[in-house]
């Protein structure tokens, strides 16, 4: 990765100032209380919300002082790399999804199920087993995402279109999007061009009986499946059913830019929380992904953003760290402050509380996630060491295909080759 850009630098610099503020508000530093570093990522709104929540926690727990360390997503990972090398990792930290097993390999995680201040009583045995890495509960999920197809109900009514039925397959959706883009009165496109949307891609693979990663740390998919995925998007692009790269200003479009131009998009269930707010006059709905006619049983899955306690934490700080993780995962009070930008609550009781008071957008997300929780699911495995840039590689391939510089077959092969090379280098 390149060095920090100006925005990332400013966010990192700002984090130090916030940390000093919360330490001052968290209690008397001379009283012998624990001072803990808490590291997370996000945008400015998330920074403000979590800073407020941590301040509220500190006010209720005068013996615990919190030093926040905030950055945007890319800068966060760069900082983690530097801190790991210096053995100076924050006491409590979020884990970027491509790094879960990389950090596990580097022995960053402390065991959690022996900490008395972290209450696990609300979770089933099956849930706790699904959170484990290497047979040990050493990270804690604090949200749930599922792949989602989001559509603008306001646009659908304005354009007088009826969406495909809930059990529509990928071909039916493609046909609908092509027809919609050809013949809607407001000249909108069906979706942005996003073949690099990772959760929808994973759903595609699992429906075909494959998976993103195997238990032994290898790609769980074939070049044929990647090519078929790229082909699906390429067909839509050539038919004018999705935005061109110029219309969306490159790969990885900004929803604030493209939201007025499209009927729908594919992504993560939690994205509705922030992105719907950008267009308050529109009503958004979530639905499950298209389902292949021959979809394999257990294709549905849950994605967990995780947090951990650093294995090098001082012993006398462990119980205080457990309180903070407990606050993040098991306390509805924190959720009320930070909202659900990081997905549906993992704790079943907090989930129920959230559903009772949820807004319309939140209910859309919670309902879709609950369906995923209740569905039959095959095991899902985290990204192995060496794959932290696989999404970037996929974005590059998708962009080259859109520009006509790469065939879908060559794009699929190049993606797998890059992934395999990264895994090999990490060993």
CATH of the domain at 295: 3.40.190.10
108 and 153 housed in the same domain:
no
53 and 136 housed in the same domain:
yes
221 and 102 housed in the same domain:
no
- What range does the domain containing 173 cover? 147-299+386-425
Confirm whether 396 is domain-assigned.
yes
Q: What is the pLDDT along the chain (427 residues), one digit of tens a residue?
A: 333 333 343 344 444 434 444 543 434 433 347 899 999 999 999 999 999 999 999 999 998 999 999 999 999 999 999 999 999 999 999 999 999 999 999 999 999 999 999 999 999 999 999 999 999 999 999 999 999 999 999 999 999 999 999 999 999 999 999 999 999 999 999 999 999 999 999 999 999 999 999 999 999 999 999 999 999 999 999 999 999 999 999 999 999 999 999 999 999 999 999 999 999 999 999 999 999 999 999 999 999 999 999 999 999 999 999 999 999 999 999 999 999 999 999 999 999 999 999 999 999 999 999 999 999 999 999 999 999 999 999 999 999 999 999 999 999 999 999 999 999 999 8
**8 Å CB contact between 194 and 248:** no
38 and 169 housed in the same domain:
no
230, 381, 421 from 263: Cα distances, Å: 21, 33, 38
268 and 347 housed in the same domain:
no
Confirm whether 372 is domain-assigned.
no
* Residue that finishes a domain, picked among 334, 366, 398: 366
397 and 271 housed in the same domain:
yes
pTM: 0.91
155 and 290 housed in the same domain:
yes
196 and 230 housed in the same domain:
yes
245 and 275 housed in the same domain:
yes
**8 Å CB contact between 307 and 343:** no
159 and 270 housed in the same domain:
yes
In the chain, how many domains are there? 2
151 and 246 housed in the same domain:
yes
191 and 245 housed in the same domain:
yes
């Amino acid at each position: 990765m390149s060095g920090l850009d100006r925005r990332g630098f400013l966010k990192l610099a700002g984090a130090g100032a916030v940390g000093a503020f919360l330490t001052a508000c968290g209690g008397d530093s001379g009283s012998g209380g624990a001072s803990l570093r808490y590291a997370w990522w996000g945008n400015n709104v998330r920074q403000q919300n979590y800073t407020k929540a941590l301040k509220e926690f500190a006010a209720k727990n005068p013996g615990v002082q919190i030093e926040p360390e905030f950055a945007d997503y890319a800068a966060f990972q760069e900082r983690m790399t530097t801190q790991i090398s210096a053995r100076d990792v924050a006491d409590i930290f979020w884990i970027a999804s491509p790094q879960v097993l990389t950090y596990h390999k580097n022995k960053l995680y402390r065991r959690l199920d022996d900490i008395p201040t972290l209450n696990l009583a609300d979770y089933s045995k099956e849930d706790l087993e699904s959170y484990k890495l290497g047979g040990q509960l050493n990270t804690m999920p604090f949200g749930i995402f599922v792949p989602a197809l989001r559509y603008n109900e306001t646009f659908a009514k304005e354009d007088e279109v009826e969406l495909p039925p809930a059990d529509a397959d990928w071909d039916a959706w493609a046909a609908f999007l092509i027809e919609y883009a050809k013949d809607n009165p407001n000249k909108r496109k069906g979706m942005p061009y996003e073949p690099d949307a990772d959760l929808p891609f994973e759903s595609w693979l699992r429906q075909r009986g494959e998976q993103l990663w195997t238990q032994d740390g290898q790609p769980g998919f074939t070049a044929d499946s990647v090519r078929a995925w790229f082909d699906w998007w390429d067909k839509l692009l050539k038919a004018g059913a999705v935005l061109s790269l110029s219309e969306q200003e490159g790969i990885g479009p900004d929803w604030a830019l493209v939201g007025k131009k499209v009927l729908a998009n594919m992504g993560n269930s939690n994205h509705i929380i922030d992105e719907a707010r950008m267009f308050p006059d529109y009503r958004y709905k979530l639905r499950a992904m298209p389902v292949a006619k021959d979809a394999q049983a257990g294709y549905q899955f849950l994605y967990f953003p995780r947090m951990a306690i650093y294995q090098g934490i001082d012993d006398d700080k462990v119980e205080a760290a457990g309180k903070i993780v407990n606050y993040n995962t098991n306390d509805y009070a924190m959720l009320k402050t930070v909202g659900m930008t990081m997905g549906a609550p993992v704790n079943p009781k907090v989930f129920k509380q959230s559903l009772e008071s949820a807004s319309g957008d939140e209910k859309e997300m919670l309902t879709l996630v609950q369906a995923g929780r209740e569905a039959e699911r095959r095991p899902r495995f985290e990204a192995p060491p060496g794959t932290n840039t696989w999404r970037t590689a996929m974005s590059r391939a998708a962009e080259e295909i859109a520009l006509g510089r790469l065939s879908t077959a060559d794009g699929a092969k190049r993606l797998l080759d890059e992934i395999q090379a990264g895994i090999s280098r990490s060993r």
